Structure 1
Amino acid sequence: MSELENEIEKRRTFAIISHPDAGKTTLTEKLLLFGGAIHVAGAVKSNKIKKTATSDWMEIEKQRGISVATSVMGFDYDGYKINILDTPGHQDFAEDTFRTLTAVDSVIIVVDSAKGVEMQTRKLMEVCRMRHTPVMIFVNKMDRDGKDPFDLLDELEEELKISVCPLSWPIDSGQKFRGVYNIFQEKLDLYTPSKQTITESVEFKDISSPELEGYIGDNLAAKLREDIDLIEGVYPPLNIEDYLKGQIAPVFFGSALNNFGVKELLDCFVQIAPSPRPVEAVERIVKPDEEAFTGFIFKIHANMDPNHRSCIAFVKICSGKFERNVNYKHVRQNRMLKFSSPTAFMAQKKETVDEAFAGDIVGLPDTGNFKIGDTLTSGENLHFKGLPSFSPEMFKYIENADPMKAKQLQKGVDQLMDEGVAQLFTNQYTGRKIIGTVGQLQFEVIQYRLLHEYGAQCRWEPISLFKACWIESDNKDQLAEFKKRKAQYMAFDKDGRDVFLADSNYVLMMAQQDFSDIKFHFTSEF
C-alpha cells in the first residue's frame, strides 16, 4: 500500500446535520473531546459559563445560541484522521448545509428523542438520498422523556424513507434512563445521571444470562430481552454494503449533553464509515488515490479573523496530495497559483499545513480569486459539479445608511455575497442593489456582520418580488424583445448574468408562455 493509499484509507470526512436544537453542536463538542482536540466542552446555552461552544465562534452565533455557518474541524482518533463539518440546522441557512453535503463522504443525523423527525431533517435527508450518501442516526436526549424507541424507529423509516438497523438499545428513558445495550459491541453500558460519563461498561455477549438482573433489576431485564428479540425478528442485521450505498441507516441512542453513547457511535463510525470516495466531474470520474491533486471550493468565509480582513476559501481535496508552496492551476481563471499559508482548522484556531490528502478540507487565504464551485488541479482542466445557488425567495433593497462609509459597504457586500450567504442583484433599469435570500434571518445576519466586521451601516427597503430566474436563449431577437418589455424587472447577478425578477407567479407563468424560446432557470448552475 502506498503512502497515499494509506493516508486516504485513514480519513473519515462527515457532516453532522439536524433540525435546530436537536443537539448537533453539543455532539460535535463531545466528539472533539474524545479526539483530545479540546479539553473543556463549551456550555453552549448557559450564560453563567463564559465558555461557548468551540464550533460556534462568530459573535452572532454566541448571542443567539445557534450555528449560522458551517464550521470545519479535524482531529485524530484511534489511528484515523477525522474531519467534522458542523452545519447550521436553521432552515434560513439551508443553502450552506446543502453545499457542505457535496464535500463529505458520510453523514450523522441527530434526532431529538422527544420531537422525532422534523421538517429540516427531512429536507436534508433528500439531499443525502439524491447523492447516495451513507447515513448514521444518533437519537439524542434519552435522559429526557421522549417517544417510545420502537415508535421512533418507525418514524425514522417512514419520514426519512430509509431502512434502519438499531445498533444500541435504550434501557428505559427520561428520569429512569439506565443506559443502553450496545448490540454492535455486545456490551452493557450503564448510566448514572450525575456522573456525566459511562460509569460502567460490561461485556455482555449473552443477554439471556441471569447476571443481567444483577445490573438492571428484574423488570428492566425482562423488557430488554423482549425488545432485543423483537429487534432481531423485525430489523435486518447490519449489512455494511447496504450502509455504504445509503440504503440502510445504523441507529444509536444516547445523550450528547451527558456524553453518553457518543463514544460507541464514534467507535462504530470509524470502523464502518467510508474513506474518501470517487467524485464526479463534468469530464470524468476522479478517484481519490490518483497521484495528481484535484479539489473544489465549496465554501468561502469572510473575516474568520476580524483583525485582518481576510477571506478563507475552503477546499475539499478530491484526489492526490496537496502541498504548500506548489503551483496549482485555477481552472476558471486559467492561471497558476501557489499558497504559502494553507490552513487546517479546529473551529477558529487554525494551523498552517504542509500537506493534505484526499478527504481533507483545507483553508486557502482568498484575495478575491475564488468563487464557490471553483476547481483547483495539478494542471488538468476539470470542473466539479453540483454546487448550485438556489433561486432566492425573499428580496430587499439594500441602501447605505452612512454616506461616509460607501466603500466599506461595497466591500462588505461583495465579500459576504462571495460567501454565498445571499445573492446580490443589480437592477438594470435603476441601478439599485437588491439582496435575495432564502430566509428572513439572513437579512439580520448580513446587517449585523456589515456593521461589526466592516463598520458599514445598511438599511433595508421593501420590494415585492416573487422569484429570481436566470434566463438564456438561442433566439437573440426574442431575448432582446423580452428584455425590452421587462426592462424594469431585469437585473444582473454578481457575475453579470441576466436575471429576471418576477413580481408574481402569474407574471412568471405568462412570461414562460409568451416567450417559448427562453429558458428560465431556478438555480445558477445550468
Structure 2
Amino acid sequence: MSSATQDVAAPGVAAREAARRRTFAVISHPDAGKSTLTEALALHAAVISEAGAVHGKAGRRGTVSDWMEMERNRGISITSSALQFSYGDAVVNLLDTPGHADFSEDTYRVLAAVDAAVMLLDAAKGLEPQTLKLFEVCRAGKVPIITVINKWDRPGREPLELLDEIEKTIGLRPTPINWPVGIAGDFRGLLDRRTGEYVRFTRTAGGATAAPQEVLKPVEAFEREGDVWETALEESELLEASDSDHDQEGFLEELTTPVLFASAVQNFGVRQLLDALVEAAPSPAPRPSVSGERRPLDAPFSAFVFKVQAGMDTAHRDRVAFARVCSGVFERGMVVTHGSTGKPFHTKYAQSMLGRERSTLDLAYPGDVIGLVNANALRVGDSLYVDEPVEYPSIPSFAPEHFSVVRAKDVGRYKQFRRGIEQLDHEGVVQVLRSDLRGDQAPVLAAVGPMQFEVAAYRMEHEFGAAVSLEPLEYQLAMRTDPDAAPKLSRLPGAELLTRSDGQALALFVNRWRLSTVAREHPELTLEPLVGGRANG
C-alpha cells in the first residue's frame, strides 16, 4: 500500500490512508459458509483467480484462508487469518475467524481489532446460538454489524420472516440494501432497493469464478422474470412503508443492520457486499487507551497485538504476532517500544498475510494488520508504540470449562514437550495451569471447548515432535482466587487450586453446586468469576 510519491511522515498521511481502510471480520454459526464467503470476497477483489471451495466431493479444495492441515482435513476454520486487498480506491482488511464454537475465544480477540463485522446467517436456519453469542461480543465492543443472509440458492425460509427474527431476537432493525428475486432455492438475482434495478446472475462451474451479472431496468426485469419480479417489488415496497430503508447514522450507532442476500458458494451477491462495506462500514477512528483518551490517527505509530500464531511456515517454524495499527505510519525496520516491558522491538521482519502465503510489508496505516515474524516476546494484548507511550485495553481470556492433564508419551522428548506447551500457552491455544503437586511434567490444559485439546495434541506431535496423552479431569469451571486458598482447597473434595502462567491462582470445581457449597462453608475464601465467558465475554 506504499506510495513512492508521498512523504509517509507528512502531516495528515495516516488519517488520509485510514479513511481508505475498511477493517472487518465475518462471524457466523459453524457451517453458515463463512470461509466460503471469505474466499468469494477475495475472488471478487481479484486477489485470487479461482475460489478454493470447489464443491463436489471429488474436487473439493481448502480455502486459502484455511492453512492448517487439520482445517483442510475437517473442512472447518479453527484459526483466524488476515487478508488484505484493494477494492477500487479502498483498502480492505478482512479478518477471517474460527468457524467452530470451541474457538470462540480466538474470534473474540479478532473482534477487538476490527471496525465492523459481517454477520452471516444461513437462509434456512436464521439466527443460531453461536451467532447470537458473537453478536453479543460485537454489541459489547460497539462494533456495527452488516447482515448477510447466505445460501439463498438452497431451500430456506421466507425473507420477511428472517428479518422479523433478527429484529425480535437481537433488537437491531433490519434495513435491506437489496432484496432477492426468487424464493430461497430459486435465486435468480437481486433487486437493488436504492436504484430499483435488477441484478441478474449467471451461474459458473462450481462457483469457482466470479458470477457474471447483468443489470436490467425494471421494465426489462418484469419482461424477464414476470410475477417473481413483481413479488420482489411488492415486498420491497412493504419494507419502505415500514421505515426499513438503510439508515447510515442508525447503523453506526448499532441501532440498525443493513441486510444483503447472497450465495457465497455461487458467488452471487458478493460484489454487492463489497460495495456495501466500502460505502457504509466505518473507517478506523481514534482508539481509546486504558486512560480513556483517544490517540489521534496522526499521532506517532502505535498498535496492539490481538493474536500470536506459530507453525504457519513449517519450513522455518517461526512465530507471528498479528498487530492492528491504531495510529501513525508503520515503516518496516522501525524500532518500536514494547509497552509491557519498555524494551525496544525491531520490526525488520514485517509481513502481510494471505492465509499461509506472505509477502514483505513495507508500510502500514491505521486499520491495517501487521504480521511481525519471530516476535517471541510479544503476547496477546501487548501495546507497541513510537515516541509517545500508550497502553491499549487488554483482551481478557475466557473462563475455561474443560480441563485435561497432558503428558509426553516419550519421556525422552521432554525438552520438546516443554517447549511446545510453552508455545501453545503463549499463543492462547489453551491455558496452561500448574501446581507443585502435579509438577511440570503433567500440567493441566484448560480450554473453552474440547476441540482445543485436539488442536493442541496435533500440534504437539506434528510441530514439536512430542506426542502427548491427555487425561480429562472432571472439573467444569474455574474461579479467580489467591494463593492463600491453597491449603484449604487441597483438603476439599471436588476442588483444586492451580496457577495460570500469568501468575493468576485459579480454583477449579467439579460443578456449580460444589462451588456454592465451598463458598457458603468458607466465606473467607476469595472466589471471583474470571473476566470473559464462553463466546460472550
Identify the TM-score tier after normalising by the shorter chain: over 0.9
CA 50–125 in structure 1, closer or farther in 2 if over 3 Å, else same:
closer
Q: Which of 202, 227, 251 is matched with 2:215 structurally? A: 202
Partner of 1:216: 225
CA 46–453 in structure 1, closer or farther in 2 if over 3 Å, else same:
farther
Contact 1:400 1:409 in 2 (8 A): yes
Partner of 2:526: 518
Question: Could you tell me which amino acid in structure 1 is paired with residue 115 of structure 2?
Answer: D
Matched, 1:106 2:116: yes
Question: Could you tell me which amino acid in structure 1 is paired with residue 516 of structure 2?
Answer: M
Work out the CA distance in 2 between the residues paired with 1:221 and 1:274.
33
Q: Which of 95, 99, 105 is matched with 1:95 structurally? A: 105
Matched, 1:485 2:488: yes
Q: Which of 502, 513, 516 is matched with 1:506 structurally? A: 513
Partner of 2:279: 271
How much has 1:341 moved relative to structure 2? 1.0
How much has 1:214 moved relative to structure 2? 0.9
Contact 2:479 2:527 in 1 (8 A): no
CA 319–369 in structure 1, closer or farther in 2 if over 3 Å, else same:
same
Work out the CA distance in 1 between the residues paired with 2:229 and 2:193.
15
Over aligned residues, Cα RMSD in angstroms?
Answer: 2.1
Contact 2:20 2:91 in 1 (8 A): yes
Contact 1:429 1:490 in 2 (8 A): no
Matched, 1:455 2:468: no
The unaligned stretches of length 5 or more in structure 2 are: 1-10
Partner of 1:86: 96
Partner of 1:389: 397
How much has 1:268 moved relative to structure 2? 1.7
Q: Which of 27, 31, 48 is matched with 2:37 structurally? A: 27
Work out the CA distance in 1 between the residues paired with 2:233 and 2:510.
61
Residue 63 of structure 2 aligns to a residue whose secondary structure is coil
Work out the CA distance in 2 between the residues paired with 1:378 and 1:260.
44
Work out the CA distance in 1 between the residues paired with 2:45 and 2:275.
12
Partner of 1:494: 501
Matched, 1:144 2:154: yes
Contact 2:299 2:327 in 1 (8 A): yes
Matched, 1:434 2:434: no
Q: Which of 255, 280, 296 is matched with 2:304 structurally? A: 296
Work out the CA distance in 2 between the residues paired with 1:101 and 1:318.
14
How much has 1:51 moved relative to structure 2? 3.8
How much has 1:50 moved relative to structure 2? 6.3
Q: Which runs of 4+ in 1 moved over 6 A?
A: none
Residue 257 of structure 1 aligns to a residue whose secondary structure is helix
**Deviation larger for 176-185 or 149-158:** 176-185
Work out the CA distance in 2 between the residues paired with 1:409 and 1:38.
38
Partner of 1:475: none
Work out the CA distance in 1 between the residues paired with 2:525 and 2:509.
18
Residue 75 of structure 1 aligns to a residue whose secondary structure is strand
How much has 1:402 moved relative to structure 2? 1.1
The 5 Å alignment of 1:31-180 reads: 31-43=41-53, 46-49=56-59, 51-180=61-190
Contact 1:44 1:65 in 2 (8 A): no
Work out the CA distance in 2 between the residues paired with 1:325 and 1:291.
19
Work out the CA distance in 2 between the residues paired with 1:38 and 1:226.
38
Contact 2:203 2:212 in 1 (8 A): no
Matched, 1:363 2:366: no
Work out the CA distance in 1 between the residues paired with 2:424 and 2:55.
27
Residue 264 of structure 2 aligns to a residue whose secondary structure is coil
Work out the CA distance in 2 between the residues paired with 1:192 and 1:464.
54
How much has 1:510 moved relative to structure 2? 3.6
The unaligned stretches of length 5 or more in structure 1 are: 473-478
CA 113–359 in structure 1, closer or farther in 2 if over 3 Å, else same:
same
**Deviation larger for 122-131 or 231-240:** 231-240
Contact 1:276 1:288 in 2 (8 A): no
**Deviation larger for 37-46 or 384-393:** 37-46
Aligned-pair identity (%): 35
Residue 244 of structure 2 aligns to a residue whose secondary structure is coil
Work out the CA distance in 2 between the residues paired with 1:180 and 1:34.
17
Matched, 1:336 2:348: no
**Deviation larger for 65-74 or 183-192:** 183-192
Work out the CA distance in 1 between the residues paired with 2:525 and 2:469.
39
Work out the CA distance in 2 between the residues paired with 1:72 and 1:211.
41
How much has 1:316 moved relative to structure 2? 0.8
Work out the CA distance in 2 between the residues paired with 1:398 and 1:119.
31
The 5 Å alignment of 1:6-21 reads: 6-21=16-31
Work out the CA distance in 2 between the residues paired with 1:269 and 1:183.
16
Residue 266 of structure 2 aligns to a residue whose secondary structure is coil
**Deviation larger for 168-177 or 255-264:** 168-177
Work out the CA distance in 1 between the residues paired with 2:531 and 2:216.
53
Matched, 1:464 2:474: yes
How much has 1:490 moved relative to structure 2? 1.8
How much has 1:44 moved relative to structure 2? 5.8
**Deviation larger for 133-142 or 40-49:** 40-49
Contact 1:186 1:203 in 2 (8 A): no
Residue 420 of structure 2 aligns to a residue whose secondary structure is helix
Question: Could you tell me which amino acid in structure 2 is paired with residue 202 of structure 1?
Answer: V
Partner of 2:6: none
Contact 1:74 1:344 in 2 (8 A): yes
Work out the CA distance in 2 between the residues paired with 1:382 and 1:369.
18
How much has 1:508 moved relative to structure 2? 2.1
Contact 1:390 1:524 in 2 (8 A): yes
CA 484–524 in structure 1, closer or farther in 2 if over 3 Å, else same:
farther
Work out the CA distance in 2 between the residues paired with 1:377 and 1:284.
17
Report Cα offsets for 1:132-190 as digits up to 9, x if no partner: 21110111111111101110111121223211101111112245332110113432111
Work out the CA distance in 2 between the residues paired with 1:522 and 1:45.
42
How much has 1:193 moved relative to structure 2? 4.1
Contact 2:14 2:327 in 1 (8 A): no
Q: Which of 244, 251, 256 is matched with 2:259 structurally? A: 251
Partner of 2:3: none
CA 198–340 in structure 1, closer or farther in 2 if over 3 Å, else same:
closer
Contact 2:333 2:348 in 1 (8 A): yes
Work out the CA distance in 1 between the residues paired with 2:31 and 2:394.
28
Report Cα offsets for 1:322-350 as digits up to 9, x if no partner: 12222211111111111111111111111
How much has 1:519 moved relative to structure 2? 5.1
Residue 57 of structure 1 aligns to a residue whose secondary structure is coil
How much has 1:213 moved relative to structure 2? 2.2
Question: Could you tell me which amino acid in structure 2 is paired with residue 75 of structure 1?
Answer: F
Residue 229 of structure 2 aligns to a residue whose secondary structure is helix
CA 50–112 in structure 1, closer or farther in 2 if over 3 Å, else same:
closer
Partner of 2:386: 378
Residue 376 of structure 1 aligns to a residue whose secondary structure is strand
Work out the CA distance in 1 between the residues paired with 2:279 and 2:420.
44
How much has 1:487 moved relative to structure 2? 3.3
Work out the CA distance in 2 between the residues paired with 1:45 and 1:437.
33
Partner of 2:406: 398
Question: Could you tell me which amino acid in structure 1 is paired with residue 531 of structure 2?
Answer: T
Contact 1:315 1:361 in 2 (8 A): yes
**Deviation larger for 368-377 or 220-229:** 220-229
